[in-house]
Amino acid sequence: MIIVAGGTGTLGARLVPCLAGAGLPVRVLTRDPARARHLAGHAVEVACGDVRDPGSLTAALQGAGTVISAMHGFARPGRVSPATVDRAGNANLIGAAARAGADFVLVSVVGAAPAHPIGLFRAKHAAEQTLRASGIGWTIVRATAFMETWATIMSQMLEASGKIVVFGRGDNPVNFVSAGDVAALIARAVTDPGLRGQVLEIGGPDNLTFNQVAAIVQGTAGRRGTVRHIPRPALCAMAWLTAAIKPHLARQARAALVMDTLDMTFDPAPARRAFPGLPNTDMAAAIRELLA
Ligand SMILES: NC(=O)c1ccc[n+]([C@@H]2O[C@H](COP(=O)([O-])OP(=O)(O)OC[C@H]3O[C@@H](n4cnc5c(N)ncnc54)[C@H](OP(=O)(O)O)[C@@H]3O)[C@@H](O)[C@H]2O)c1
């Protein structure tokens, strides 16, 4: 049985059908089974659990052969955060996988490091370290930014208001990968025991600025609208003003500043050479699929 924590998310909604379509039994771990209802069916079970609550994981992981962590606590309000979900929650999930005798596939981020300016990247690094020290069979899949996440945000803004808001100057190149391509690599990691003990890094074909992504969204949607920029000083002010009352907004403002200034480019060639059969979706194709 393959357990997918995060099976209801952008990546998970592509990963679960990919695994089930290959004839593998899958159980989606979610805090709210209603969110997974559309995924349930032949070969897909749903279990209720929250990685912040270790007691909820024992039954959910019963019979597990592999556990996949495809979750994060970056953008939600409340007690959901990189510290509670990505750091402590992954540690709980790794502990439960060890007790169940299962292997573990951790979805992390390209650039995960102990001193990274984005807290999520530090928490992912901590989870990677916990997994490596756990003694169970492991594979880490690090991905760049998901095309679908950002294209969805921009398409929805364009649809709702005729405007796309770009955080900062929007002229810093960032590597974007399709969540569908990442799902295909994770499926390989699950089924190939030869990939245990390895860190696999995946990116997409292009490094694009947010201004370029906005232009591709406009072109693919066939609607120009306008592009508005939130200046960097306004992002600094937003991070500072919301830190105590809405920490998830502060996290997003700080991350936007980093994505507008830090080198976020990536060379996808090594992973593509190692896994030649993987899909290599570009931004326009990912947006066309979303709009369809
Ligand atoms: N989005 C990106 O640009 C990007 C880039 C690189 C790597 N990644 C990584 O890829 C993975 C998937 O990201 P995504 O963007 O597809 O996620 P997403 O769409 O934002 O969905 C988040 C998922 O996390 C689960 N989750 C959150 N808190 C949880 C908790 N306490 N217990 C159990 N599950 C919890 C949610 O499940 P329920 O709500 O159903 O409980 C949901 O399925 C994550 O590991 C992320 O860090 C994402």
SS (H, E, C) 71-84: CCCCCCCCCCCHHH
pLDDT band at 75 (very low <50, low <70, confident <90, very high): confident
> What is the rounded distance in angstroms from the CA atom of residue 38 to the CA atom of residue 209?
34
**pLDDT for residue 76:** 82
11 CB within 6 A, ligand 1: yes
> What is the rounded distance in angstroms from the CA atom of residue 123 to the CA atom of residue 224?
38
**pLDDT for residue 21:** 94
Give which of 85, 60, 58 is closest to 74, Cα–Cα: 85
**pLDDT for residue 151:** 96
pTM of this structure: 0.97
Give which of 281, 21, 86 is closest to 176, Cα–Cα: 281
Q: pLDDT tens digit string along 128-144?
A: 999 999 999 999 999 99
70 CA distance to ligand 1 centroid (A)?
A: 6
Which residue has better confidence, 41 or 107? Answer: 107
106 CA distance to ligand 1 centroid (A)?
A: 12
**Residue 42: is its pLDDT beyond 80?**
no
pLDDT band at 77 (very low <50, low <70, confident <90, very high): confident
170 CB within 6 A, ligand 1: no
**pLDDT for residue 152:** 96
